[in-house]
Structure 1
Amino acid sequence: MADVKVLIAFYSRTGVTEALAAAIAEGAEAEGAEVRRRRAREVVSAEVMALAPGWAEAAQAMNARYDAPTAADAEWADALVMGTPTRFGAISSELKAYIDGLGGLWVQGKLNGKAGGVFCSTSTTHGGNESTLLSMYNPLAHLGFIIVPTGYADPSLYKAGTPYGASSVSHNEASPPTADDLDVARFQGRRVAAVAKALKAAGVK
């Protein structure tokens, strides 16, 4: 049995954020963690989805690959890493809906002392990656997580990502993350898993 359990809860529409989630999972598993990847579900109507070509088809494909995240997943995990595309410089409504469903665990204090991290993607170079990542720190703090930033604790951060979490820019073409982006994501997975392991061993609450 793994020493530490990591939940990666993300929303992805075109697969860019999904690719970052996969790299974070690789890093966490390299640190010996058991990982669950979960995709948040759409909260808009089919009519709205139809306005963006390929959205419904991509959602169906990804939902076949991943279960939806649940409160039970968060309780199971020693660490939660959340990922989202930016939506007007902030978290997507799909992922926020999942976070808002964790109130039952919050009131019981069941998320206190777990490690938390964030990652995101955006379509444009200055499309709000850092503001989105920082906005995701707020619910982590309220829920009792110990926030684990990437910092500049690995050489990969001098080429890509942010000190707050892994990120990617798709240049309005759903371009996949670069090799440098994925290196940051793998480092983030390793770091969050290592910190979660240490917190668990120390009995931090």
Structure 2
Amino acid sequence: MTVPKILIAFYSRNGSTEALAKAIAEGAEIEGADVRLRRAREVVPAEVMAKAPGWVEKATEMNAKYPMPTEEDAEWADAIIFGTPTRFGAVTSELKAYIDSLGGLWFQGKLNGKVGSVFGSTSSTHGGNESTLLSLYNPMAHLGLIIVPLGYADPVLFEAGTPYGATHVSVQDTVAPNAKQLEVARFQGRRVASVARRLTVGTEAFFN
């Protein structure tokens, strides 16, 4: 059986997006995927990070757990799942910097036909989860990724998440993702891995 290779490239400052990323990885692994979890790195100076309580400490902790995403990771993967908190209703500069670094692969056409999907979190109820996920569809289209949304393909989507990807609202970082939100995330991992496997098998059959 073909083993789909999944890259989950995310940024997380306080742990909400990280929790969703881990649940997506669990779902993909249930589907038999080989998963790489990668955390994008900070792009602001240390003195800026120091002004936000806990930022330096949490970044150090997470960076010890997750390697930074690389160009090689994207080339290796059959599917790339991007995860980000919202920043003023849009993607974080940290994750966007990684996406922007993929220009060399884009120029060579090496990302064409890979699966792409997104997930995210925000601090407030109307903080921009959906606008952020939809904004990531634009660079994914430019990279040549085949965008895989969730739709309402699982009953849990009627209770949590969005049709565009798994989401969470942390209420100023006081609430962790609940069981339904994590279930949506696991479904996203399973769905992306399943689609990636079908596309990979189809490609192998076409060229062999």
Q: In structure 2, list runs of 5 or more residues that go unmatched.
A: none
Deviations for 1:128-165, whole angstroms, at most 9, x for unmatched residues? 00000000111111000000001000011010000000
Point out 4+ residue stretches in structure 1 off by more than 6 angstroms: none
In the alignment, structure 1 residue 99 sits paired with structure 2 residue 79: no
Report the 3-state secondary structure (helix = DSSP H, G, I; strand = E; otherwise coil) of the residue aligned with 2:152. coil
User: Match for residue 130 of structure 1?
Assistant: 130
- 2:33 maps to a residue whose letter is A
Equivalent residue number for residue 90 of structure 1: 90
Find the aligned partners of 2:35 and 2:120 in 1 and give their Cα distance.
19
Q: TM-score, normalised by structure 1?
A: 0.98
Structure 1 residue 173 displacement after superposition: 2.6
SS class of match (1:8): strand
Deviations 1:84-139 (A, max 9, x none): 00000000000000000000000111011111100000000000000000001111
CA contact (8 A) 2:2 2:200 kept: no
Partner of 2:59: 59
Q: Does 1:180 align with 2:180?
A: yes
Residue 67 to residue 174, structure 1, CA distance change in 2 (3 Å): farther
Compared CA separation, residues 143 and 174, structure 1 to 2 (3 A): farther
Secondary structure, counterpart of 1:86 in structure 2: strand
**Mapped pair 1:196 → 2:196:** yes
Q: Is the alpha carbon distance of 1:80 and 1:56 closer, same or farther for their aligned partners in structure 2, counting shifts above 3 Å? A: same
Moved more, 27-36 or 171-180: 171-180
For the 8 Å contact 1:14–1:174, the answer to whether it is kept is: no
Counterpart of 1:94, as a letter, is E
* 3-state SS in 2 of match to 1:68: coil
- Measure, in 2, the Cα distance between the counterparts of 1:33 and 1:82: 16
Whole-angstrom distance in 2 between the partners of 1:157 and 1:174: 23
Rounded to whole Å, the distance in 2 between the matches of 1:148 and 1:202 is: 17
Task: Give the whole-Å Cα distance in 2 for the aligned partners of 1:121 and 1:140.
Answer: 19
Question: What is the CA distance between 1:53 and its match in structure 2?
Answer: 0.3
Output the CA distance in 2 between the equivalents of 1:156 and 1:73.
31
Cα distance in 2, alignment partners of residues 149 and 141 from structure 1: 13
TM-score (normalised: structure 2):
0.96
Segments of 5+ residues of structure 1 without an aligned counterpart are: none
Query: 1:45–1:2: structure 2 CA closer, same or farther, 3 Å change rule?
Result: farther
Aligned-residue identity in percent: 71
Cα distance in structure 2, aligned partners of 1:137 and 1:174? 29
- 1:2, CA displacement in angstroms? 5.9
In structure 1, distance between residues paired with 2:174 and 2:145: 31
Please state how far the C-alpha of 1:202 moved relative to its aligned partner: 1.1
